C-alpha cells in the first residue's frame, strides 16, 4: 500500500483516471489528481485527474474546432441519430458494468442503478435520436409589397445548433444526468464539454469511451474532471462557450447564472426542491404509503424531486402515519452493491455531517421527532456514510427543517384539513420543482395541480417520466425546462431565411 497526502491508504491496483479531450484520454496539464472515495467504506475507488482552467481551456478549444470545422454539425439528423442509437445499444450491453461502477461511486443501491438509471440513460440516447429525426421545421408563405411590386415570399425557419455547450452534472444520478444533457446537445449538432461532479466522475468517463466507440467524432464530447471552482467555473465564463446546462444546488446555480451573464449565454438550471407530497382522505392507502415512502427515501433522500414535506389529511392522519412509520422502519440500510439494500450511504462523510446538523438543530429548536435516525450499529457498515431515516412533525413551514433542502433521509410531516389549506401550505416555499397528490377523486387531484406552484405535479404516482414532456421547476428551483422539444429548443437557435420571388 502507498499513502496519499491525506494519509489514505491506496491499493497498488487502484487506477488513475485521465481527462477525455479531443477523442483521447490525457493527463491534467499540471499532473494533479485527487482521491475518489467509496461512500460505503471510505476506500479509494480511483485517483482522478484534477482538471484546472488550462484543461478546461483546451477542452473548449477542441469542442470549438469540432463545431467550427468538424463533420458532426454538418451531418444529417439521420446520421447523428444512428450514432446515438449505437450509443444506446452500448449502454445496454454494458449495463452491469456501468451499474456496478456507479453504485460504488455514488453509494446508490445497485438495483436502482441497474434497473433504472442505466436503462434510462440508454432511453435518453434512443429518445433524442428519434426526436431529432422527427423534429419539424417551419415554412411560412405570404405576399408582400416590395419596391413597388407585390412579391411572393417564403420564410424558412432553420433550427441550427447553438454551438459549444458546457454541461455540468450532479453526483446523485451521474450517467443518467450526463446522457440527459449530452444526447439532445449532440443530437442537435452541437459539441460539448462535460464537467461531472468531482464526487462521481467514473461512469461519465466510461460514457466518453462508449461515445467514441459508437462513432462520435473527436472533440464532440469532452470530459474534464475536477472541482467546480477550478474546472467548471472557467467553462461557464469562457466566451467560446455558447450555452450552459446545469443540474445541482441552488447556490451554484445562482453563481453560474451570474458568471454566464456577461457573455449572454443561454442557460438552463435545474436546482433544488422542497416538494410537497399530499395524501388526501380518500387516497388508496397501500398506493399512498408505498408511493410516499419511495418519493422520500429513494437514494436516501438525495434526490431533487424528493417529497420532503408530507401532508396527510386529518381524517386518515393517525392510521396513515402508523402504517407509514412501520414501512419506513422496515427499510434496510446496507451495502449498496446488494440488491437487498433499500438505502445506501450518503455521498460523503461531510454531507452526512451536514444532514446530522439539520437534525440536531431541529432537536435543539424543540421540533417533535416521530422517528429518529442514526448511524447503524452494524460494524460492517461503520466505515460508510450511512444514516437511517428521521421523521419530524414541525409546527409550521417556517421551521428550518421544513423549509431548507436537507438532501438526506429527513422528512417533515404535517396534518391538514382542507384542499385550500394544503395548497397554501404547499406553496409556502421559495422552491417550486415538484408536487405530489394522492386521491381517488380526479377533480381534487386536478384542482391541486392547477393551484400548486411547481414545474411538475404527479397525481397518484411518483416520477413517472414520459421523455416527451418538460422537466424543471419554478422559483428557486431553476430556469428553463429539459425534455422533449424543450431540450431541443434550448440546444438550437432558430434562424429565419426569407426568400422573395
Residues 43, 281: Cα–Cα separation, whole Å: 48
| Confidence bin at 14 (pLDDT 50/70/90) | confident
Q: What is the CA radius of gyration of the chain?
A: 24
Query: In the prediction, which pLDDT does 8 show?
Result: 45
- Mean pLDDT of all residues in 394-400: 97
- Mean pLDDT of all residues in 126-149: 96
Contact assessment for residue 181 and residue 196, using Cβ atoms and an 8 Å cutoff: no
Query: In the prediction, which pLDDT does 256 show?
Result: 98
Residues 241, 47: Cα–Cα separation, whole Å: 28
Query: In the prediction, which pLDDT does 152 show?
Result: 97
Positive or negative torsion for Cα 205, 207, 212, 217: negative
Domain with CATH 3.40.309.10 in the chain: 276-466
Task: For 2-271+478-500, give the CATH class.
Answer: alpha beta
pLDDT at residue 143 greater than cutoff 80: yes
Cell of 434: 415538484
Is 77 exposed, middle or buried, given 0-12, 13-18 or 19+ CB atoms closer than 10 A? Answer: middle
Instruction: Report the catalytic residues.
Output: 270
Query: In the prediction, which pLDDT does 7 show?
Result: 39
Helix H, strand E, coil C: the string for 28-58 is CCCCCEEEEECCCCCCEEEEEECCCHHHHHH
Predicted confidence (pLDDT) per residue in 148-195, tens digit:
999 999 999 999 999 999 999 999 999 999 999 999 999 999 999 999
At residue 273's C-alpha, the angle toward residues 330 and 243, to 5°, is 130
Domain with CATH 3.40.605.10 in the chain: 2-271+478-500
| Confidence bin at 291 (pLDDT 50/70/90) | very high
Question: Of 225, 222, 163, 228, which Cα lies nearest the Cα of 193?
Answer: 222
pLDDT at residue 11 greater than cutoff 60: no
Q: Rounded to 10 degrees, what is the CA torsion of 48, 117, 212, 224?
A: -30
Three-class secondary structure of residue 291 per DSSP: helix
Give residues with Cβ within 8 angstroms of 227, minimum separation 6: 34, 50, 198
- pTM for this one? 0.95
Give residues with Cβ within 8 angstroms of 183, minimum separation 6: 84, 124, 125, 127, 128, 129
Predicted confidence (pLDDT) per residue in 249-278, tens digit:
999 999 999 999 999 999 999 999 999 999
- Mean pLDDT of all residues in 81-97: 98
Backbone angles phi, psi at 232, to 5 degrees: -80, -45
Three-class secondary structure of residue 159 per DSSP: strand
pLDDT at residue 239 greater than cutoff 80: yes
| Confidence bin at 2 (pLDDT 50/70/90) | very low
pLDDT at residue 5 greater than cutoff 60: no
Query: In the prediction, which pLDDT does 13 show?
Result: 65
State the average pLDDT for the chain: 96
Q: Which CATH superfamily, name and number, covers 276-466?
A: Aldehyde Dehydrogenase; Chain A, domain 2 (3.40.309.10)
Contact assessment for residue 100 and residue 334, using Cβ atoms and an 8 Å cutoff: no
Contact assessment for residue 387 and residue 300, using Cβ atoms and an 8 Å cutoff: yes
Amino acid at each position: 500500500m502507498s499513502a496519499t497526502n491525506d494519509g489514505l491508504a491506496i491499493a497498488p491496483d487502484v487506477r488513475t483516471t485521465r481527462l477525455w479531450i479531443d477523442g483521447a484520454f490525457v493527463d491534467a496539464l499540471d499532473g494533479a489528481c485527487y482521491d475518489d472515495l467509496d461512500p460505503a467504506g471510505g476506500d479509494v475507488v480511483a485517483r482522478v485527474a484534477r482538471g484546472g482552467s488550462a484543461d478546461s481551456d483546451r477542452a473548449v478549444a477542441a469542442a470549438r474546432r469540432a463545431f467550427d470545422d468538424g463533420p458532426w454539425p454538418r451531418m444529417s439528423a439521420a446520421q447523428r441519430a444512428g450514432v446515438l442509437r449505437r450509443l444506446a445499444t452500448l449502454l445496454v450491453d454494458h449495463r452491469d458494468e456501468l451499474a456496478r461502477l456507479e453504485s460504488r461511486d455514488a453509494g446508490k443501491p445497485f438495483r436502482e442503478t441497474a434497473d433504472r438509471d442505466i436503462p434510462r440513460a440508454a432511453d435518453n440516447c434512443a429518445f433524442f435520436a428519434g426526436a431529432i429525426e422527427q423534429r419539424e421545421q417551419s415554412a411560412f408563405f405570404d405576399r408582400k409589397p416590395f419596391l413597388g411590386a407585390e412579391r411572393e415570399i417564403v420564410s424558412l425557419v432553420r433550427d441550427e445548433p447553438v454551438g459549444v455547450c458546457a454541461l455540468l452534472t450532479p453526483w446523485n444520478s451521474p450517467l443518467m444526468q450526463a446522457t440527459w444533457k449530452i444526447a439532445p446537445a449532440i443530437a442537435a449538432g452541437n459539441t460539448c464539454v462535460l464537467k461531472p461532479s468531482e464526487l462521481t466522475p467514473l461512469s461519465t468517463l466510461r460514457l466518453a469511451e462508449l461515445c467514441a466507440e459508437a462513432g462520435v467524432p473527436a472533440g464532440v464530447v469532452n470530459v474534464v474532471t475536477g472541482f467546480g471552482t477550478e474546472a467548471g467555473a472557467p467553462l461557464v465564463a469562457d466566451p467560446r462557450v455558447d450555452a450552459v446546462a446545469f443540474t445541482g444546488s441552488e447556490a451554484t446555480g445562482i453563481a453560474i447564472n451570474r458568471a454566464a451573464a456577461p457573455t449572454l449565454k443561454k442557460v438552463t438550471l435545474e436546482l433544488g426542491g422542497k416538494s410537497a407530497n399530499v395524501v388526501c382522505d380518500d387516497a388508496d392507502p397501500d398506493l399512498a404509503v408505498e408511493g410516499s415512502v419511495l418519493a422520500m427515501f429513494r437514494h436516501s433522500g438525495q434526490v431533487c424531486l424528493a417529497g420532503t414535506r408530507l401532508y396527510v389529511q386529518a381524517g386518515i392522519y393517525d392510521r396513515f402515519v402508523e402504517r407509514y412509520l412501520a414501512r419506513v422502519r422496515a427499510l434496510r440500510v446496507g451495502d449498496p452493491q446488494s440488491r437487498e439494500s433499500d438505502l445506501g450511504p450518503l455521498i460523503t462523510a461531510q454531507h452526512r455531517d451536514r444532514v446530522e446538523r439539520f437534525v440536531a438543530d431541529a432537536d435543539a429548536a424543540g421540533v417533535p421527532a416521530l422517528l429518529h435516525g442514526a448511524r447503524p450499529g452494524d460494524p460492517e457498515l461503520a466505515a460508510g456514510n450511512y444514516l437511517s431515516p428521521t421523521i419530524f412533525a414541525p409546527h409550521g413551514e417556517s421551521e428550518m427543517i421544513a423549509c431548507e433542502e436537507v438532501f438526506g433521509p429527513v422528512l417533515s410531516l404535517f396534518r391538514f384539513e382542507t384542499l385550500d389549506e394544503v395548497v397554501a401550505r404547499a406553496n409556502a416555499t421559495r422552491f417550486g420543482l415538484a408536487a405530489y397528490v394522492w386521491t381517488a377523486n380526479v377533480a381534487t387531484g386536478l384542482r391541486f395541480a392547477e393551484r400548486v406552484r411547481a414545474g411538475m405535479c404527479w397525481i397518484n404516482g411518483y416520477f413517472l417520466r414520459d421523455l416527451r414532456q418538460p422537466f424543471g421547476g419554478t422559483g428557486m428551483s431553476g430556469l428553463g425546462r429539459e425534455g422533449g422539444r424543450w431540450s431541443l429548443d434550448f440546444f438550437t437557435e432558430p434562424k429565419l431565411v426569407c426568400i422573395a420571388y
